[in-house]
Chains A and B, each alone.
Chain A
Amino acid sequence: MQASQHAAHAGHHEDDSHGHGPTGLMRWITTTNHKDIGSMYLWFSFAMFLVGGAMSLIIRAELMSPGLQYVAPEFYNQMLTLHALIMVFGAIMPAFVGFANWMIPMMIGAPDMAFARMNNWSFWLLPPAAILLTASLFVPGGAAGTGWTLYPPLSVQMGMGMDMAIFAVHILGMSSIMGSINIITTILNMRTPGMTLMKMPLFCWTWLVTAFLLIASMPILAGAVTMLLTDRHFGTSFFNAAGGGDPVLFQHIFWFFGHPEVYIIALPAFGVVSHVIPAFSRKHLFGYTSMVYAIAAIGLISFFVWAHHMYVTGIPLTGQLYFMYATMLIAIPTGVKVFNWVTTMWRGSLSFETPMLFALGFLVLFTIGGLTGLVLAMTAVDIQLQDTYYVVAHFHYVMVAGALFSAYAGLYYWLPKWTGHMYHEGLGKLHFWLSMIFFNIAFFPQHFLGLAGMPRRIPDYAQQFADFNTISSWGSFGFGFSQLLVLVVVFKAMKGGVKAEARPWDGARGLEWTVPSPAPHHTFENPPPFDPAEAHG
């Protein structure tokens, strides 16, 4: 994205001062520019997405038919663990931090992020963490084979791959916390005069709440894995009953992080969709205020529902009842959001460019994932479905469809602003339809597998599960390879194509559309006047 930007704004050197900085590789290593760092985050997350995706294809190849085909069970366990860790921490989270870096300063009329050097440091922490995670496959004993939840005592049995995963989590947590501090400070202090919090674009709102969730939850994960580390090597017994500890304590701590994490991933996705749907409906978002309250409510409640991941661990009946009711409560603000998006489209003037298609795909699939979440909230039903493929289907509808589809909606929406060129609409639409169809072929049958009782995290299965698994595997291969189309689309847009106007979408609102396309290296060196017509994304 940067190469074309270089070329494109070589013409207006008067507002381009980065010519003084280093060039080549050093430019990227030393950059403090939010756009450069945003691009690096996005490229990094896409690379990790391909690595994690390749692992999922190994998993699905093994599950194509009953019997052990390609990989040994212990390697299978390592694949499913790394697939999840890489997708969650390496792909989805950095992708949305990339969007935040690129777009938040441009949306609020700020020249850059508040702490530009720390921004560079939070990005450059990611590659070492990614190397630790992937390199752990090649150390004696291989990578952690515990699932991304890292439950002890199993995680205490693992080899040094486990320690590498623990350090990777520490580093990723530091990066996230620094990124969050940066985002909060930028949003609270650097909005252009006149843009009050309640006139701020929704993407900024979702990130403001997300950043607080990150600051509150990442240290808890760091604590949990540190206790694991000392249990493994320094003779402590936090999670060992023989020494007075409790293995289930880890699960409480892990999920106290793990549930907010779900919304750390989902909220920025909601933010992107809340920009795209109004733009292509040519209509204001129906209920801006209620959306803000719903975001805040979801963020808050996400801290009070963690044990719904632990209904079968033996927590008391009263605990199960409380967590069931609290979990059901989340359906209300989530419903408010879905109803708001639907009402925004109602009586609009809809058109279906690729960003809108992905936003609609998000809406359909995320709603399915949310509704199966309601089924899983019911403790008695969850106990039947816990650790089955129903859960796998549920969270892939929420994570892949929720986060990935909305990230694509954002990518296609802002790509003209980043590269200065319109992307190839035909390829974009092809990418959407292939993704939508193959995603459902891959994951919808998994609901049935789970209902029939197929446990998750097994490399081989009984024969009655064979047919749905075969369908699911073919779907996942189709889905996986369709994602390579994005590379083609992005490279084509970087190289050339129809020149994008400053505001390529006639229904789009927001300060980011008031600067030229591609966005110059430095924008809003002076705070822009705030036009209420640009408010509310």
Chain B
Amino acid sequence: MARNSNKNHDVSRLRRGFAGFLMAGLAGIPAGAANAAWDISLQVPVTDLARRVYDLHTLLTWVITVIFVGVFAVVAYSLVFHRKSRGHKPADFHDNTTVEIAWTIVPTLILIAIAVPATSTLVQMRDTSQPDLTIKATGYQWKWGYEYVTGDAAGVKYMSVLSTPRDQIENKTPKGEHYLLEVDRPMVVPVGKKVRMLLTASDVIHNWSVPAFAVKADAVPGFLRDTWFRAEKEGTYRGQCSELCGKDHGFMPVVVEVVSAEKYAAWAADQKKAMAAVADDPAKVWKLDELVARGEKVYTANCAACHQPNGQGLPPAFPALDGSKIVKGPKAAHLDIVIKGKPGTAMAAFGAQLNDTDIAAVVAYERNAWNNKLGEVIQPAEVKALRGK
């Protein structure tokens, strides 16, 4: 999905050769339509490993093409020359041990030949040792959370959410260039460094994937998996969640920005400063209107996908909050379900994702939005008190 202009020359030659071969068979399909992408092979690789995978795939495609053409050349000859309508009389031969041994041995040799590069590529793919930088990615329904574990940005932690406007998805406004492949805050890594990704999930299995890096690994709730990449070129690379994870599976892209070491250091410093600046004073006493204003933002980012911006939800899987018994009931029960989630449903435990202020804000928002005009303020300290229980 990353449209990188600095193509690797070897690969692009292979690519064109193969493309030309296949396109000949597709003659008649008009090229050049709006947004046309007639790519017929893997994305342009930007890591050494991805290049090896690319070449392995190209090799395999040639091997199977040659086998296919070989087998069906024989079939085609039969179809033309051994027809009843041409008066061809059937021969009566069957069982020939030599032939049968040959067509067992020859495929075996081909398989062994391709197993060699396949094995070495795989061994390289799984070598996550000695990384320069470690980042933990957590899959949530339906966004990615990134946490820098080591390096300049150690401690930086944020959510990365689809930024394509709803109107584009619903065909009300024209779609942008990176429709569905854009996020509010991409993951940022330095060029040329070995980045080890630790993967997990909080609710269901997700999959973190960037095709240009040949990286794809499941994020399994309750377990840590790892994978790695070393991007060779600066640029923005895009992928998508690659394991069905519910309603908005198609709407949780992965975007990685690869930048120079200097830019990365500057970015890391900015992030740390910004985090310090926005760190909430847990003892602050909030007024209703400022709390609700903040809560609306939290709601839009975390809750609206299921419960909908108008609070009507998508019942019965995603219940309405407008007029809901829990929302209009006691505060403690409402806070409890937001903090701990509801097991066996898509309602996640937001206690781990949001700080006390955000939880107080979003609960206050829900209790005051739409027709739920309860007029209640909830202070971060109340959330903190409840967390312990």
Given A320-B126, A371-B67, CB of A347 within 8 Å of CB of B246? no
Segment 85-121 of B: residues with Cβ below 8 Å from A: 85, 88-96, 99-100, 103-104, 107-108, 111, 114-115, 118-119, 121
Check B33 against A467 for contact (C-beta < 8 Å): yes
Check B71 against A464 for contact (C-beta < 8 Å): no
Given A313-B218, A349-B88, A451-B41, CB of A378 within 8 Å of CB of B346? no
Check B244 against A147 for contact (C-beta < 8 Å): yes
Check A350 against B84 for contact (C-beta < 8 Å): yes
Cβ-closest chain A residue relative to B172? A67
Check A384 against B211 for contact (C-beta < 8 Å): yes
Q: Does B299 have its Cβ within 8 Å of any Cβ on chain A?
A: no
Q: Does A528 have its Cβ within 8 Å of any Cβ on chain B?
A: no
Write out the residue numbers on chain A whose beta carbons fall within 8 Å of the beta carbon of B93.
286, 347
Write out the residue numbers on chain A whose beta carbons fall within 8 Å of the beta carbon of B179.
66, 462-463
CB distance from B318 to the nearest CB of A (A): 9
Segment 25-47 of B: residues with Cβ below 8 Å from A: 29, 33, 35-43
Check B218 against A312 for contact (C-beta < 8 Å): yes
Selecting from B74-82, B257-265, B352-360, the interface stretch reads B74-82
Selecting from B186-194, B202-210, B266-274, the interface stretch reads B202-210
Check B94 against A288 for contact (C-beta < 8 Å): yes
CB distance from B83 to the nearest CB of A (A): 5
Check A317 against B244 for contact (C-beta < 8 Å): no
Q: Does B248 have its Cβ within 8 Å of any Cβ on chain A?
A: yes
CB distance from B23 to the nearest CB of A (A): 11
Cβ-closest chain B residue relative to A536? B94
Q: Does B281 have its Cβ within 8 Å of any Cβ on chain A?
A: no
Q: Does A455 have its Cβ within 8 Å of any Cβ on chain B?
A: yes
**A135-173 interface bits toward B, Cβ cutoff 8 Å, 1 = contact, 0 = none:** 000001110011100011110110100000000000000
Cβ-closest chain A residue relative to B106? A335
CB distance from A330 to the nearest CB of B (A): 10
Check A387 against B37 for contact (C-beta < 8 Å): no
Report which of A157, A283, A460 forms a contact with B345, defined as CB distance below 8 A. Answer: A157
Check B37 against A383 for contact (C-beta < 8 Å): no
Q: How far is the CA of A284 from the CA of B211 in the complex (A)?
A: 49
Write out the residue numbers on chain A whose beta carbons fall within 8 Å of the beta carbon of B307.
none
**A376-406 interface bits toward B, Cβ cutoff 8 Å, 1 = contact, 0 = none:** 0011110110111000000000000000000
Q: Does B386 have its Cβ within 8 Å of any Cβ on chain A?
A: no
Check A378 against B1 for contact (C-beta < 8 Å): no
Q: Does B247 have its Cβ within 8 Å of any Cβ on chain A?
A: yes
Top 8 A-B pairs ranked by shortest CB distance?
A241-B222, A458-B250, A464-B37, A371-B64, A314-B225, A453-B211, A347-B91, A349-B90
Can you list 16 residue pairs at the A/B interface with Cβ under 8 Å? A153-B204, A283-B90, A342-B78, A345-B82, A347-B78, A348-B91, A367-B71, A374-B60, A380-B52, A380-B53, A380-B118, A380-B121, A380-B122, A384-B42, A387-B209, A455-B242
Extra A-B contacts (17), CB below 8 Å, given A287-B94, A324-B115: A67-B171, A73-B248, A151-B204, A156-B344, A157-B203, A286-B95, A332-B107, A345-B78, A347-B90, A349-B82, A364-B72, A380-B125, A381-B60, A386-B242, A448-B40, A451-B39, A455-B241
